[in-house]
Structure 1
């Protein structure tokens, strides 16, 4: 009988150890990075009434440590039917620079990566640490946009209304 009791005690101890090991592993910070990708039809470098959210666009989150090319974490994602993405990020990246970049457009008519104006480097930097006073696990990235190859016709009038000069006038 004593050996059956000892076996049960060992079994319970082993089960407790496995449970604690799982808890310690899951305590590593995990974040969710949310953002949106849209098609910029007026090539204004900001969201406006003609901007269209883009389902199926691909984005990438990369975190870099010190030194050139030192990528410490990378994950890709895709926007849902509403043009929104949600990336699950593991670990705390306190001493790293993390940013979201565009990877691939889902629309052949809107697949240019802007390289002018405010979008010289179209990315969104994001802080992924619990050691900076920001509470919660969700981080919101700035919107990113692909641009149409051609300036959409209704944009000229829109730009006049908001007093922005257009190259097509």
Structure 2
């Protein structure tokens, strides 16, 4: 009976071990976007502008020593999107994408509620993919654009005219 399992175990070892080894050496690919909150609402709207040339960093903090380490940097493309490859499994470290700089004039203040995004950089949680998406992060425009008051009414309308 034990003999019948030998070929099965051999096949599993030959096929699964190389896949596991490849996964360990495969970098994580983090993707996200950076925008200018032109109305200072704290979220993306139809008036949102995506920022080309914004700088982002990926920072991981050890939960025991609390030591932080920058593990990656990226710059957004023309559509405000960035991609960064991160080598190494960060296991139980807390990792964040963080805003660094906006080159857009009059849009430099990081939105405190949208200036970071949690990113997962471990394979120990059962995630099969090495591609992970960070939530969008934003900067506030110095002064809201004209028309933002009527846009706010549109977002608050919710079918109840008294909410305006």
What TM-score comes out, normalization by structure 2 length? 0.77
Q: Which residue of 2 aligns with 1:81?
A: 78
Residue 66 of structure 1: CA displacement?
2.7
Structure 1 residue 151 and structure 2 residue 151: aligned? no
2:120 to 127, 142, 166: 127
Please list the CA deviations of residues 97-143 of structure 1 after superposition, one character each: whole Å capped at 9, or x if unmatched. 0001100001121111123xxx1x62101111111122111000000
- The CA distance in 2 between the partners of 1:41 and 1:72, in whole Å, is 32
What TM-score comes out, normalization by structure 1 length? 0.75
Instruction: Report the count of equivalent residues.
Output: 137
Q: Runs of 4 or more off by more than 3 Å in structure 1?
A: 24-27
Unaligned runs of 5+ in 2: 1-20, 158-164
Larger Cα Rg: Structure 1 or Structure 2? Answer: 1
Residue 27 of structure 1: CA displacement?
4.4
Unaligned runs of 5+ in 1: 1-23, 165-169
Residue 74 of structure 1: CA displacement?
2.3
- 1:89-108 aligned within 5 A: 89-108=86-105
Considering only aligned residues, what root-mean-square deviation do their CA atoms show, in Å? 2.0
Residue 25 of structure 1: CA displacement?
9.2
